[in-house]
Structure 1
């Protein structure tokens, strides 16, 4: 299964970011806590060189908590500020505000020495499609000021958002890199929904997920679907289909419906808190 997706507007957006990065003090990068490495765009490290950096491990409520702790330490050791969060939850925004102030403390003190008072911190919000950038901005601002959607590519242009007297945010479109050199990265992105489902083979994708879950989180499928985790992934998908009544006319098994069900229940956390990458492997 090959993964490739790079809409034309992303090339333009990357060029625009190279210009806009000069205007900001801080780069806030959202990643999906379930796949913190695969959901990062390598270009952002190059673009953000010399800027204060904050990584938001979004959707950490859907990820394995032990892995969340490991990833927090992993990124801190690399010199990033890190916050674990759920972008829909207003409660985590106080922590984000405090970290922004800490990350830009030197800049604020430098301004004061120069006699510049009350200049807001300017931060650029970046991330690949569907990691929750717009949801984060709306929750942080307390109002719907950035478009949101549950599919990649909703944000197409940049927009400045004044949060308060202390912080201004620059929203940017989600950017994926032009080529997945490692197809396992493409697989993980597809599993969390960062690549549009309508260009993927959902049946194959669900079989990959079933195999991963059986190896990394044994017992999860048994608990959710009341079946033994034996046989091939295809045989397991058939068991899930029968368990959930995914049957077509003529009493045929509806594999497509069952495949979509498994993917959806993983993405929405109904299968439990699951991470697809391990910090110790990357370290």
Structure 2
């Protein structure tokens, strides 16, 4: 399967992204914990050195926790600075907040011990990632208020906007970016299942059947993933007057349930194997 979904504002976003990357100390690359490899922009590592890049895996509350820990170990072993967050749980953001916090200027030696106003240097971070990966939700959580527009559909953020997250910290919310050549193969199925491309850009029934197989949901009594999905549609009452299952509505219902976490916590990509640390 191949997906070529490139709305005009996303094409413009990729073209305008490179100069924006140089305007900040940090580049926060946002990925999805359910597919940490497929949900990252492969071209970003060529534009930003690892020393300035922080990888943040969102939707950790929807992913398998053991797999997320394994993915973090693998990323860190590869030299990446990586965190996994539940954007709707502020307490889980503390390690990332401490990392992004601007350094506080030290007072001159002769004034140490004297109460002065807090001196904070301005620190900036550009937040980048694929459409609907959770960039705006992450920014709102870091700012502890709804500043960036956030919706559960790709393409919500239309243009870059600087947002004051805290004293001395500004975050740049950017539109999602996709490779101009589109996506194909298994990565296309993964991004479609996660809702990172428009549901109108791919065959929803085909992706839903793939997801049933990937999650191990086929009913042995029915014999196939497609028959299992049809059975789900009948169970949901998505049947026409002629008795046929409405395949599009059934597929969309399954995809929506997966994206919300109604089917449980699942990670769709196996983490790379990392050698155990000495002594463990």
For residue 238 of structure 1, report the CA deviation from its aligned partner.
Answer: 1.9
Tell me the distance in 2 between the aligned counterparts of 1:166 and 1:29. Answer: 20
- In structure 1, the partner of 2:61 is 61
Tell me the distance in 1 between the aligned counterparts of 2:42 and 2:250. Answer: 35
**Any idea what SS the aligned residue of 2:149 has?**
coil
Q: TM-score, length-normalised on structure 2?
A: 0.86
Structure 2 unaligned regions, length at least 5: 110-118, 276-280
Instruction: Say which of 155, 158, 164 aligns to 2:157.
Output: 155
- In structure 2, the partner of 1:217 is none
Tell me the distance in 1 between the aligned counterparts of 2:163 and 2:99. Answer: 19
- In structure 2, the partner of 1:85 is 85
Tell me the distance in 2 between the aligned counterparts of 1:229 and 1:151. Answer: 35
- In structure 2, the partner of 1:213 is 215
1:249 matches 2:251:
no
- In structure 2, the partner of 1:47 is 47
> Which whole-Å deviations, capped at 9, do the CAs of 1:219-265 have from their partners, x for residues lacking one?
xx37xxxx546512221112222333222113332222222222111
Instruction: Say which of 259, 265, 276 aligns to 1:273.
Output: 265
Superposition pairs for residues 71-150 of structure 1, below 5 Å?
A: 71-101=71-101, 108=103, 118-150=120-152
Superposition pairs for residues 222-261 of structure 1, below 5 Å?
A: 227-228=219-220, 230-261=222-253
Instruction: Flag the 1:114–1:124 CA change in 2: closer, same or farther, 3 A.
Output: farther
RMSD, aligned α-carbons: 2.5
Partners of 1:25 and 1:51 within 8 A in 2? no
Give the structure with the larger helix fraction: 1
For residue 200 of structure 1, report the CA deviation from its aligned partner.
Answer: 1.9
Partners of 2:9 and 2:159 within 8 A in 1? no
Structure 1 unaligned regions, length at least 5: 215-220
- In structure 2, the partner of 1:172 is 174
Partners of 2:26 and 2:53 within 8 A in 1? yes
**Any idea what SS the aligned residue of 2:68 has?**
helix
**Any idea what SS the aligned residue of 1:263 has?**
helix
For residue 181 of structure 1, report the CA deviation from its aligned partner.
Answer: 5.8
> Which whole-Å deviations, capped at 9, do the CAs of 1:134-171 have from their partners, x for residues lacking one?
11111211222111111111111111112222311111
Q: TM-score, length-normalised on structure 1?
A: 0.85
Number of residue pairs the alignment of both structures matches: 266
**Any idea what SS the aligned residue of 2:27 has?**
strand
Partners of 1:27 and 1:51 within 8 A in 2? no
**Any idea what SS the aligned residue of 2:125 has?**
strand
> Which whole-Å deviations, capped at 9, do the CAs of 1:1-21 have from their partners, x for residues lacking one?
321222232332223221122
Q: Which has the larger radius of gyration?
A: 2
Partners of 2:239 and 2:245 within 8 A in 1? yes
